[in-house]
Structure 1
């Protein structure tokens, strides 16, 4: 199939925003942390997703709550859109309270055919700079897919065989999902509109945000990093997690010193896989 969206490759945009200490404090409260990082201290990994999010007008939103197709991202005419994963390099600390700029560039638009129909993958590179220094470089994969036909069986989850050396339980409730949606200005209705999630997108309940799970995995890596920060973090979403169903974030140290991390769903299924490299 010819690439109908080839002209979007190379498209760029930039957003400048202060890494606001109030938003950081709200995130710390949302994650139920005892204290919040202060102005001048480094922004924790994953918390960069609180910033630089598009503020589309309500009249410019689609039925799913996302901004309508077109503009920076290509107008791919498939109804389901999700953040599939990222590869993140943490090059320097991003100080809280400083002004930063994120420059985004579309590096690839690719069509594939999966077991459930057509798929489009859009890869966007985000480079976040502060005071002339590149702090974070992330390649983000966005996938667009067809809606499953009515009555279609759910995909068979991948069983997780890995053995954890450390981890903890996470109990996602509606307040957690609401707060994270608000902090990231994420209007996707699968995270707060139960009727829409069930009747329109075919989920059994509200869906836990993929980047929220990825943030928790990065927090877990830092906790077991003996005071060292992250140099790199890669993650891939495998299957969804749902509100009011406890899951586990877990990991172990590999032979090369890197961390293997994952989110284990309530039935033992692999929900997200990740690797972390310490500084």
Structure 2
């Protein structure tokens, strides 16, 4: 851990043109007729389609993510998961204009959970456009051991029984493939079902955590009729095996409580949008 702490404060800066095509392709991925064009505001969390890292194939790890030890610290635990994030939306990101993202390793923390050792890495991102801060993000990554096939599976938390609004999401291999392509995400759990089952212990292909969060914030914004000022989410139980799941919410004053619920009633993700 003393070596990993050397990564705290490390920075990386990327500049990208917020082109219309990735946003239009994202609309198609979500079964929306492509309509976004230059000058339109980028929908919330769609900044993940930009500022991508193009690591050569020879520099990828076992899971097809870039090997650690560059910007991210060289955590020895083999499994990498997106644990959650927090966002402040200061002003819309405009399609058709250049933007810059500054990323900083905020902290590295080692813990021991029910399934063994864990390492949490928090990365702070700031997106600037026209020299003005548009978005602040804290991104939580968790690293853990491969699952023990003989260990009992912890019982998941149950999701809430009642909601003000709800939608059913029916994952498809094409949806997962397209989102992986749009975000240049090579993680094999999203397209290699044998790897997902035999190596990482899932029921099958895993629905992207960031895509789940994107669907939740989209649901909140559609119900409120406006984009939120702040959003946070936490992944709790994976959505795997291509089973349909529900995204639901409850409106409470100036915020919306949201969650993704698996077919078995387990709470997969919780989120809050503030307006």
1:31-42 aligned within 5 A: 31-42=30-41
Maintained 8 Å contact 1:173/1:243: no
1:42-121 aligned within 5 A: 42-121=41-120
CA-to-partner distance for each residue in 1:129-186, whole Å, 9 max, x for gaps? 0000100100000001111223323221111135210020000010000000000000
Task: With the length of structure 2 as denominator, give the TM-score of the two structures.
Answer: 0.97
C-alpha deviation, 1:244, in angstroms: 2.7
Q: Structure 2, unaligned stretches of length 5 or more?
A: none
Instruction: Indicate yes or no: 2:258 matched with 1:264.
Output: no
1:126-275 aligned within 5 A: 126-226=125-225, 228-254=226-252, 256-275=253-272
C-alpha deviation, 1:108, in angstroms: 0.5
Q: Structure 1, unaligned stretches of length 5 or more?
A: none
CA-to-partner distance for each residue in 1:227-262, whole Å, 9 max, x for gaps? x211011000000112431000000111x3200000
Distance in structure 1 (CA, Å) of the matches to 2:35 and 2:213:
19
C-alpha deviation, 1:51, in angstroms: 0.9
Distance in structure 2 (CA, Å) of the matches to 1:130 and 1:211:
23
Distance in structure 1 (CA, Å) of the matches to 2:52 and 2:76:
22
Maintained 8 Å contact 1:24/1:36: no
Paired residue secondary structure (1:32): coil
Distance in structure 2 (CA, Å) of the matches to 1:132 and 1:4:
35
Pairs aligned (count): 275
Distance in structure 2 (CA, Å) of the matches to 1:207 and 1:100:
31
Task: With the length of structure 1 as denominator, give the TM-score of the two structures.
Answer: 0.96
